[in-house]
Amino acid sequence: MTRILVTGGAGYVGSHTVLVLLQEGYEVMVIDNMVNAVLEGSGGKPESLNRVEKITGKTVDFEIIDLMDLEALRRVVKTKGPFESCIHFAALKSVGESCQQPLRYYRNNGTGSINLLEVLGENNCKSIIFSSSATVYGDPQYLPLDEKHPTGSCTNPYGKTKFIMEEIMRDVCTADPEWKAIMLRYFNPVGAHASGLIGEDPLGIPNNLMPFIAQVAVGRRKALQVFGNDYDTPDGTGVRDYIHVMDLAVGHVAAVRRAKEDSFKGWKAFNLGTGKGNSVLQMVAAFEAAAGNKIAYDIVPRRSGDIATSYADCSLAATELKWTAKKTIADMCADTWRWQSGNPKGFAA
Ligand code: WQD
């Protein structure tokens, strides 16, 4: 049985990816420091993973491990392996928070990832699938964004940690050709598993659009603040490439398969998006159609650091990972609504 180590696997994209790995017949070990997830449910496991086990009928190994705890990390990788590959989700991910707490982000996302790479290498697991982000492209110089677009001009510490980690992994592969590293640059992950049992459950006030809309729809928030309607876009609101989290999860398993092939060498980045852009107001309208109720919103000034438009050229993933996104905006909204309306308080009982 092929065994995969998943860091941050209790989280949103992580838990959906663990689900698909299990359904594809992989054994999975999740380590997570639980800073961004809710530890509920039986067996000392996060509720998100209890529900993944319920959906799949399979079990997941789990330990609370902080990547900053090198000894604990070393113990787990040594005793719970061997692992064919590691999918690395664990990271702090709030753009705004990273601007207030840059050192916390560089330490957690940077040093934590370096610890992981060191311990994986020591245990001969020289294969990593990295949760990167389209934010590494900064303000687009052209659209759609392809993997040749310059990276590194992102302005916030969160985005810089993603860029820096990509470069660190590139250098590790250059220094040791046995290493394989696949950077998956997500555009905007949204949606939930069709069962409605797992989904995005941000702690506190959601930073991102879709969970905020969902919380307005379920009555947890009064109204959405639309950050600016004076962008150079069809309706003046920001345009993004929203991708269903289940498509994203399938993309990670495609990357695990690609990394295993002898023909794959070294370091490579792939965009995971749909290639289509939708505006904030288009997403509001789509969600209203899915939920059957109006979403109250107010137009407010732009959020600093936001760009007008971003959407992917994902032809490289199509040719090399044999992967394309299949789900529509309507699927994303219907699945998000099923999750949020069934779990108004997220995973907290
Ligand atoms: C989308 C659009 C906002 C909230 C960020 C990170 C990226 C990734 C995804 C982690 C924009 C508008 C949003 C709200 C709004 N994160 N908006 N009101 O900023 O494209 O990307 O999240 O991996 O790395 O940069 O996503 O969902 O925050 O914003 O009007 O309450 O919705 O202005 O146009 P973003 P988002």
Q: What is the pLDDT of residues 182-222, one digit of tens each?
A: 999 999 999 999 999 999 999 899 999 999 999 999 999 99
Whether 158 is catalytic: yes
Angle at 102 between CA 99 and CA 108, to 5 degrees: 125
- In the reported structure, the alpha carbon of residue 187 is separated from the centroid of ligand 1 by a whole-number distance in angstroms of 10
- In the reported structure, the alpha carbon of residue 166 is separated from the centroid of ligand 1 by a whole-number distance in angstroms of 21
- Predicted local confidence at residue 42, as pLDDT: 65
Give the integer Cα–Cα distance in Å for 102 and 334: 36
- Predicted local confidence at residue 135, as pLDDT: 96
Q: What is the pLDDT of residues 280-335, one digit of tens each?
A: 999 999 999 999 999 999 999 999 999 999 999 999 999 999 999 999 999 999 99
- Predicted local confidence at residue 40, as pLDDT: 65
Q: Is the reported ipTM for this assembly greater than 0.90?
A: yes
Residue-range definition of the domain harbouring residue 209: 3-348
Low-confidence ranges of the chain (pLDDT < 50): none
Q: Please tell me the residue having the least CA distance from ligand 1 atom 19.
A: 306
Residues 74, 76, 77, 82: is their CA dihedral positive or negative?
positive
Q: Please tell me the residue having the least CA distance from ligand 1 atom 16.
A: 93
- Predicted local confidence at residue 349, as pLDDT: 65
- Predicted local confidence at residue 82, as pLDDT: 96
- Predicted local confidence at residue 348, as pLDDT: 83
Q: Which stretch of DSSP H or E encloses residue 71?
A: helix 70-80
Contact 53, 21 (CB under 8 A): no
- Predicted local confidence at residue 50, as pLDDT: 95
pTM metric for this prediction: 0.97
The CATH number of the domain holding residue 287 is 3.40.50.720
- Predicted local confidence at residue 36, as pLDDT: 79
Q: Which residue, 128, 116, 93, 125, is CA-closest to 252?
A: 128
If one counts the domains in the chain, the total is: 1
